[in-house]
Amino acid sequence: MSPRKSRRAVRERSVPGSLARSRCPVANSLEILGDRWTLLVIRDLFHGKKRYAEFAASKEGIPTNILSDRLKRLEDAGVIGSTLYSRHPPRAEYALTPKGRGLGPTLQSLIEWGLKYIPGTKVLEDRSRLRVAPLRDGAGTGVGVR
């Protein structure tokens, strides 16, 4: 093995996840947030939705298999947390963590950009501003819930 390849192999082993490929913050943010559905789930969380059925009922019609996957990926990334509200069958409520709430200004900028540059876009009622509810610790889990 050449010295160049071995240095790369060491670097890839010592850097978690997508950072092995790139240290660009945009590229790494897109690893977590870079598809249409993920940002819509986050939008819905900012608008007060907490339960799976509420996300599934959004006008955009996210397929249920994709919704399940996105919720799991966001939870694994520490962007959202969940708290069980029913054990049989298991059902969870989701909430933004402080890391997820940090996306508020980014989402607000997307709203403003869309309203300005994409003709025909509009926000429903008073939703041009995101609601960011304070989080409280959920049932000893360390996960924020509303």
In a domain, 6, yes or no: no
pLDDT for 7 equals: 43
Residue 83 backbone phi and psi in degrees, to 5: -135, 130
Which sign, positive or negative, has the C-alpha torsion 51, 54, 56, 61?
negative
Here the tokens at position 81 are: 């947390």
56 in any annotated domain:
yes
**Residue 22, pLDDT score:** 87
pTM for this predicted structure: 0.74
**Which residues in the chain land under pLDDT 70?**
1-18, 20, 124-146
Nearest by Cα to 94 from 146, 132, 40: 146
97-117, pLDDT tens digit by residue? 999 999 999 999 999 999 999
pLDDT tens per residue across span 69-85:
999 999 999 999 999 99
pLDDT at residue 39, as a whole number: 96
Q: Domain range holding 113?
A: 24-141
88 occurs within a structural domain: yes
**What is the number of structural domains in the chain?**
1
CATH code of the domain covering residue 73: 1.10.10.10
